[in-house]
Amino acid sequence: MVKFNWRFWLVVLSFLMVGFAKGQYQPTITHSKEWLIKTCEFGNCLYDYYYFVADTNIGGHTYKVLDGFHYNKNFYLREDVFQRQVFLLIDDGSLFLQEYLLYDYGMNVGDSLYLRNPISPVAAVEGYYHLDSINLETFEQITRNVFYLHGWDTQKNYHETKWIEGIGSTGLINTPGVIGDTTAMAELLCVSENVQKIYSRKPNDTCYSNPVLEVEALQSDRPTFYYAQESRVLRFQNLSGSAVVSVFDINGKAVYEEEVSTQTEALSLEKLKHGIYMVSLRAEESVEVKKILVN
């Protein structure tokens, strides 16, 4: 009689389940993806976005330039799809720029890695994190791998975090060491790709759409604009035909729209109330979006 070795088959089954859970990799860094976040302070909540505006080559690697929220186009992200890793490079004016590993979706349960938030509202959180589990969870009818980790920072404080494959952190994309929080830093509400919502924090969360969804690589001769804060006007450059200017409030609501042409040099925004707005300039083959402060 052959004795059934249940321990052996349990190990085999566990390996098969890990392989099944990982499945086909879903990249995080894609051109038409945008993230909507929520931040609250003293009872007042703001909504903001981050997204990619261009590609750049540094040190032999191709990065996507991150804009929106507080990134100001000096945050560069790249993804090694084969290794399932996401990296961050920050242009802080240094002669030698340092690259940071943000996410490692190639980890197996039981693995550990040294994790840090190089620049974020919780930058002090860094230390060794242990991968506790990889679960399959469904968001917006899309099943994704969700990584649950825990660790202790250099001050011996305990932290837990959650990564969603193809999405990133549940806070800001550059804060992989903590779970998102609307008061401590920011919380991720929604993610869209190619204008379609692919993630929401809760089924009943309202997801406002940012007008920047298909931004082409920056070109020196593309239609553009800048905001003259003192005179409260938009000034245009390189208009070669008609274009549409749209203004959105912090909740994503359109509050103003105007068609401009090659003869338009400036457009007054003096009727807008004080506050933060997103302004988009849509030309025939390009879209440019900037955040402005009207005061």
What's the pLDDT tens digit per position in 146-164?
Answer: 999 999 888 888 889 999 9
Q: Quick one: average pLDDT of 235-247?
A: 84
**The pair of three-digit structure tokens given for residue 225, joined into one six-digit string:** 């604009």
pLDDT at 20 over 50: no
Name the CA dihedral angle for 129, 131, 132, 136, rounded to a multiple of 10 degrees: 140
Higher pLDDT, 128 or 41: 128
pLDDT at 55 over 50: yes
What's the pLDDT tens digit per position in 77-101?
Answer: 999 999 999 999 988 777 788 899 9
Query: pTM to 2 decimals?
Result: 0.65
Q: What is the pLDDT of residue 157?
A: 86
**Residues above pLDDT 90, as percent of the chain:** 25
Q: Quick one: average pLDDT of 226-247?
A: 80
Of 125-129, 215-219, 231-235, 277-281, the poorest mean pLDDT is in 215-219
Chain mean pLDDT for the chain: 81
Q: What is the pLDDT of residue 5?
A: 54
Gap between the Cα atoms of 257 and 41, Å rounded: 30
pLDDT at 3 over 70: no
pLDDT-based confidence at residue 30 (cuts at 50, 70, 90): confident
Gap between the Cα atoms of 210 and 190, Å rounded: 11
How are strands ordered across the β-sheet holding 158-164? Answer: 112-116, 126-139, 142-153, 158-164, 168-169
In order, the DSSP letters of the chain are -PPP-HHHHHHHHHHHHHHHHH-S---S--TTEEEEEEEEETTEEEEEEEEEEEEEEETTEEEEEEEETT-TT-EEEEEETTTTEEEEEE--S-SSPPEEEEEETT--TT-EEEEE-SSSTTTT-EEEEEEEEEEEEEETTEEEEEEEEEEEETT--EEEEEEETTTEESS-TT-TTS---TTTS-EEEEEEETTEEEEESSTT---PPPS-SSPPPP-TTS-EEEEETTTTEEEEE---S-EEEEEE-TTS-EEEEEEE-TT--EEE-TTSPSEEEEEEEE-SS-EEEEEEEE-
Q: Quick one: average pLDDT of 170-194?
A: 87
Q: Which domains are delineated in the chain?
A: 33-200 (no CATH), 224-294 (2.60.40.3080)
pLDDT at 219 over 50: no
Q: What is the pLDDT of residue 121?
A: 72
How many C-beta atoms surround the C-beta of residue 82 within 10 A? 8
